[in-house]
Amino acid sequence: MKELIFIDDARGMGPDTDEVFKYTQSFFPCLKIKKILLVKALGSKRTVDSLAEKFVGSKMCAGVSPSIVEKEILFEKNRLLDDKNKSFGNLYDGFSYLEAMAPVCGGMKIRRGDAVILFTNQLMATYDEADKRYHLRTAIHSVPLSIISVTGIIEAPAKPREYYLKKQAGIPEHELKAEFAGRFIDYGDKRAITECSKGLVLQAIFYAVTGEPFCENKKCRLFNAHWQEELIASQIKNRQGLCPAHKKILEDAKKDFCKVIRFPS
């Protein structure tokens, strides 16, 4: 397999993957890209059972009763096998989720150097030792698998401070959405999800090749936005795509990118 593989588990909430393909190929013209629904990539019943248990492990707190664990495992199995199950926004530990997905990549015979991206409609969080807290993430990068959380695009970067102040003051959400229109990405905004996904896919590829997915330039698709307005500026309003420094890195390392992403010769 000489491809970048998208595993789609966003259940209709994800990006227009054809458009993300085209955008990615504008940087890597020879790159072959394949899309597969997660349900088609699961393989055996054993993989499903194991995945369901590991997913529960990645979201359960210690001390939960065995009967609740059983119910959660059943919920995860049903979610995995029924692609019409639209349950979204459940919160998981992102690194545990990545680890749980390893057998799926193994079953797909992912080879060294291939890159895989899972689009999910679930929320991923990672623990930060510095402030001892979990933080929601738009994406978690690893090799070969990166996760892009489409609900994380909406929930992880913070909305404008004034939004929260006005919300605390009791202003109804529909009024706030009207007042702050265009300053944060909301559910159902497929165009925005698609634009953000383009940049997050580039981050995943840069991580796979250089080990560094992010850029400090706010006008670069690799910028790691912590605020919705930064995300919109770097991914939607940004017309230059990559910053000059990353365009140069891409050009200089073209051979490495080809090698790692396995361009056809």
Of 123 and 242, nearer to Zn ion (C-beta) is 242
Under 8 Å between Cβ of 110 and 140: no
Q: Which of residues 9-38 bind Zn ion (CB under 5 A)?
A: none
The distance of closest approach from Cβ of residue 222 to Zn ion in the complex, given in angstroms and rounded to an integer, is 5
CA distance linking residue 52 with residue 74, whole number of Å: 8
* 217 contacts Zn ion (rule: CB under 5 A): yes
Helix (H, G, I), strand (E, B) or coil at 83: coil
Residues 59-78, buried b or exposed e (16+ Cβ, 10 A)?
A: beeeeeeeeeeeebbebbbe
Site for Zn ion in 196-215 (CB under 5 A): 215
- Of 56, 98, 220, 225, which one interacts with Zn ion (CB under 5 A)? 220
Q: Distance between CA 264 and CA 25 in Å, rounded?
A: 13
Between 176 and 222, CB nearer to Zn ion: 222
Q: Which of residues 235-254 bind Zn ion (CB under 5 A)?
A: 243, 246
Task: Give the shortest CB-180-to-Zn ion separation in angstroms.
Answer: 28
Torsion region of 52: left, alpha or beta (phi above 0 gives left; psi -120 to 50 gives alpha): alpha
Q: Does 224 bind Zn ion (CB under 5 A)?
A: no
Closer Cβ to Zn ion, 82 or 212, answer by number = 212
Nearer to Zn ion, 79 or 246 (CB): 246
50/217 with CB nearer Zn ion: 217
Closer residue to Zn ion, CB minimum distance, 18 or 212: 212
Residue 201 token pair? 């896919």
- Smallest gap from residue 189 Cβ to Zn ion (A): 25
Q: What's the farthest any 2 CA atoms get from each other in the chain?
A: 60
Tokens representing residue 239 in the block: 């017309």
By the 10 Å C-beta count (0-12 exposed, 13-18 middle, 19+ buried), 42 is classed as: middle
Query: Taking the complex as a whole, how short is the minimal distance between the CB of residue 123 and Zn ion, in angstroms?
Result: 27
φ, ψ at 100 (rounded to 5°): -60, -35
The nearest distance, CB 206 to Zn ion, in angstroms, is: 9
Min. distance of Cβ 246 from Zn ion in angstroms? Answer: 4
Strands 3-9 and 32-37: parallel
Residue closer to Zn ion (CB basis): 50 or 210: 210
Strand, helix or coil for residue 109? coil
Shortest Å distance, C-beta 207 to Zn ion: 13
Binding residues vs Zn ion (CB under 5 A): 215, 217, 220, 222, 243, 246
